[in-house]
Amino acid sequence: MNHRARRTILIGLCAVWSGIVSPLVAQTEVLRIPASRISDSGLDSLPFDLRRGIGPDEAAIIATYLNPALRSIRDRRGLAAAQLIQAGILPNPQVTYSRDYVTGGNTAGTTTGYNFTAGWEVTALLPLLPKRTAARANVQSVDLDIAWNEWQIAESARLAIYRVIALRDELASATEADRELTQSAETLKRAVEAHEKTMLDYAAAESSSQDARATALGLAQDHGKQTLGLKRILGVAPEAEVRLRAGIGLPSHLNVPSQDECVEGLENRRLDLLALQQGYRSQNATVRAAILAQFPKISLSFAKASDTTDVHTSGFAVTIDVPIFDRNQGTLATERATREKLLDEYHQRVFEAHSDIATALSDIRWLNREVAAAEEALPIFERLVSSAETAMRGGNTDVLAYYAARSSLIQKRVQVVKLKEQLLEARTALEIASGRFIPSNRAVHLK
């Protein structure tokens, strides 16, 4: 992501939500996640006029800049950079200076004596290189881990957009059914008053109307909660207005790569696995530093002195720690155990990634079939409702059969939307597990 694109994005954000996000933007760093993991189009061609509404790609970028959870995660980078500085610092030399004053006794021919000593621990150079190697690898590991968290936030924002759209579509179907059934119940009520219909007919219509109203109210509540969840993941205040771009729909089918394509290059693609690899390299260098630290500490010092008889001397001293009790064995054992833990965690994460990919691919294949079957069944339910209505008006069936058919049609429409939502959730799971962005079908963006 270049600085020009980043500056354009931030200007757009400030223009729309200046009173809400400007304090956050000032502290935001350059994203470490590649733009290709967020969108299948380049940032320079990605429309970003928030006044027209946002889509999944825009939501992903906004969330990675403004989500407060990422701020504390990014602070780890500063800590790692400080540790890199510390790893390259050598111990200070020690300088001692003293004077001996003649204060009494036979002072004839005496003078003031002094002692000057300068020393330094030379063995501090031994673990310097592996310590710096460990610190540099740790910085890279932290950067990759931050990018992994940024990408997960981006995926969550994209999915939150689709969930809002799904609930919006479900709510639209339920609201339309509520309105039609309310009108039907009022019509039947007037017909009962005119003695053209029975109370049983009216009771059936009123019951269906109440059920539709309860369904619509429940979906409206869910839609409100999901909208607040979207604002939370975006990092904006609950009272902020977030418009969705028109023309965003849900897919009926997703084409996905094969299992082999998703697994190929997985360990060099998934950001968390790359972070663990750098973490293992860092820990391996830390183990080497602990091994070198077992070498006895050696300090060299040089001295220049003069006693009270005005005799001047120069010399040197070598100080060596005798490793009888402390051979750095505790630190070495701890670092080796930590390295083993990191390796086991890496293998576990790789195993889980393979399993998650297989599960997500299986879910997508089954959901493709379920969505297709549900959409094929919709016209059948619509014809059933039409036939039941015609038969009811002709007196060939009771009103209960008609409203049962209407209820089944509403449930089937809601089921289709829910299946499409599950299809997108499975795609998100596949993207996270495989570490790659999977372009959506055109049906996702255009109704």
pLDDT of residue 32: 55
DSSP assignments along 78-113, one per residue: HHHHHHHHHHTPPPPPEEEEEEE---SSS-TT---E
Q: d(Cα 306, Cα 309) in Å, to the nearest integer? A: 8
User: What is the average pLDDT score of the chain?
Assistant: 83
CA 134 from centroid of its chain's CA atoms: 26
Q: d(Cα 55, Cα 361) in Å, to the nearest integer? A: 25
Give domain limits for the chain.
Answer: 3-38+49-89+126-293+328-444
Q: d(Cα 21, Cα 231) in Å, to the nearest integer? A: 12
Contact between 154 and 33 under an 8 Å Cβ cutoff? The reply is: yes
pLDDT tens digit string along 283-300? 999 999 999 998 899 999
Would you say domain 3-38+49-89+126-293+328-444 falls under CATH 1.10.3720.10?
A: no
Q: d(Cα 302, Cα 315) in Å, to the nearest integer? A: 6
pLDDT of residue 401: 76
What is this structure's pTM?
Answer: 0.80
pLDDT tens digit string along 113-154? 999 999 999 999 999 999 999 999 999 999 999 999 999 999
pLDDT tens digit string along 193-221? 887 677 877 787 788 788 888 888 999 99
Q: What is the largest CA-CA distance in the chain?
A: 141
DSSP assignments along 29-46, one per residue: ----S-GGGT-SS-GGGS
pLDDT of residue 109: 82
Structure tokens at 391: 């038969």
Phi, psi for residue 316 in degrees, rounded to 5: -140, 165
Contact between 304 and 314 under an 8 Å Cβ cutoff? The reply is: yes
Please tell me which residue, 186 or 226, carries the higher pLDDT value.
226
Q: d(Cα 185, Cα 322) in Å, to the nearest integer? A: 96
Residues 6+ apart with CB under 8 A from 65: 9, 10, 13, 24, 25, 28, 31, 235
For the segment 267-281, the average pLDDT, to the nearest whole number, is 94
Q: d(Cα 386, Cα 190) in Å, to the nearest integer? A: 22
Question: Is the model's pLDDT at 8 over the cut of 70?
Answer: no
Q: How confident is the model at residue 36 (pLDDT cuts 50, 70, 90)?
A: low
Q: d(Cα 63, Cα 41) in Å, to the nearest integer? A: 18
What length is written for the chain? 447
For the segment 224-241, the average pLDDT, to the nearest whole number, is 91
Question: Is the model's pLDDT at 403 over the cut of 70?
Answer: yes
CA 406 from centroid of its chain's CA atoms: 42
Question: Is the model's pLDDT at 417 over the cut of 50?
Answer: yes
* Cα first-last separation, the chain: 30
